[in-house]
Amino acid sequence: MILEHRVPHLNLAPPFLRQVGLKVTKVKGVNLAQGLCIMPVPGAVIRGAQSAIAAGHNMYSVAQGIQELRDALSNRLLSFNKLKYSANEIVVTSGSTAAFESVCQAFLMPGDEVITFSPFYPYHVNALRRCRAVMRTVPLKPGAWTFDAQQLADTVSNKTKFIILNTPNNPTGKVFTRAELEQIAEVCRSRNVFCVTDEVYEYMTFNGHQHISIASLPGMFERTITMSSYSKTFAITGWRIGFMAAPQAVADVLRVTFDQLAVCAPTPLQHGVATGIQELGADYYNDLCASYARKQAMLAAAIESTGLMVYPSNGTYFLLADTRERFPGKSSEEVVDILVEKVGVGAVPASDFIGREFEGNPDKSTFLRFSYGVPDEMIAAAAERLEKLRNFT
């Protein structure tokens, strides 16, 4: 085949979350697999984008993003994250996915090693594979999702380029504590490696947990690339507006790399996000957390009523449910098939987040991820359908 000679074999496959989304749509079920964030968009955000379109801001922006948005991000990073980035140290991207792609393209060569915690976000892994980097994993222990700091230190080698930190974590809902961040920071400082953070769910924390950016810790600003997005915060996942912030010399490299990947993020939508950041105050973010805490409780009760065990979640809008006791001997992929085909509810199997090599393995692939970034009516509809799960083993 001609394509076999042209396309490198990178072992890439679309995440299960997309496949499950298609399957559950076919059965006219409730899709709690993808983190679609089907929530109202703040009026200020919509108004800002509409005004920009009407005013003719429909051309390319500069590669690093419009000045208004970078100024707004600089102010927000200082007030919320305690990070002093100038507007020139910020690059607006097409979501945090493109931000991470830019980081990988800019700094990784084949054979370089990157450390990530497992369970991990699958799009991070595919970006590493495209760069032919070697991924090393440090497990998060189910429950509190803690890690062994010594194991993390021992995983670092002279080939390690950076550690990926996703907090609040997708899929576990873990919010890394200051003590844990200090342990990661000590490894970065002592072994002279970078930290690349994905902080997309920074405004969604519960149960007294607060988001802390590792770049705010001593000695970490100069060795951290901070990535985030307003996709979830403003419920605009289809707009693809994210950003990355780093010390000037690093930001300059990332700007050039992103320019080659996508030229710029959508210009009028950048204006919409800038307006939202400027106009929405503390009440908006407080209400966001309160709303998601309530939704989490609704979905957790529905899942637990089926006999599945729900892991505590302190951040994001995801819940993990353990499948082992309710479906002994079945992998999470098999349980998802039952959910979709017999019940009509979509969830994502564990192998998306621990590695496809464990697909179908009932000893390793043992949890499902559900999203509650949806209207209450969808959670209620899913709860009604989940009652049928009691009839299947």
What is the token pair recorded at 358? 């464990």
Residues of the chain falling short of pLDDT 50: 1-7
Please give the single-letter amino acid code of residue 342: K
Domain with CATH 3.90.1150.10 in the chain: 2-41+283-388
Q: What is the pLDDT of residue 12?
A: 61
Backbone dihedral angles phi then psi of residue 24, each to the nearest 5 degrees? -70, -30
Q: In the CATH hierarchy, which fold is given to the domain comprising 43-279?
A: Aspartate Aminotransferase; domain 2 (3.40.640)
Q: Which long-range contacts (CB under 8 A, 24 or more apart) does 55-61 make?
A: 57/267, 57/268, 57/271, 58/267, 58/268, 59/267, 60/263, 60/264, 60/267, 61/92, 61/264, 61/265, 61/267, 61/270
The DSSP output letter for 205 is B
Q: What is the pLDDT of residue 16?
A: 75
pTM: 0.94
- Mode of pairing for the β-strands spanning 318-322 and 367-371: antiparallel
CATH hierarchy code of domain 2-41+283-388: 3.90.1150.10
- Mode of pairing for the β-strands spanning 113-118 and 160-166: parallel
Q: What is the pLDDT of residue 10?
A: 55
What is the token pair recorded at 49? 């984008």
Calculated CA dihedral for residues 98, 103, 109, 114, nearest 10 degrees: -100
What is the token pair recorded at 316? 């994001």
Q: Select from 236, 215, 221, 214 the least CA-distant residue to 95.
A: 236
Chain-centre distance of CA 316, in angstroms? 8
The alpha-carbon radius of gyration of the chain (Å, integer) is 21
Q: What b-and-e string marks burial along 205-224, b requiring 16 or more CB atoms within 10 Å of the CB?
A: bbeebebbbbbbbeebbebb
Q: What b-and-e string marks burial along 259-297, b requiring 16 or more CB atoms within 10 Å of the CB?
A: beebebbbbbbbbbbbbbbbebeeeeeeebeeebeebbe
| Cα distance between residue 112 and residue 156, in whole Å | 11
Domain with CATH 3.40.640.10 in the chain: 43-279
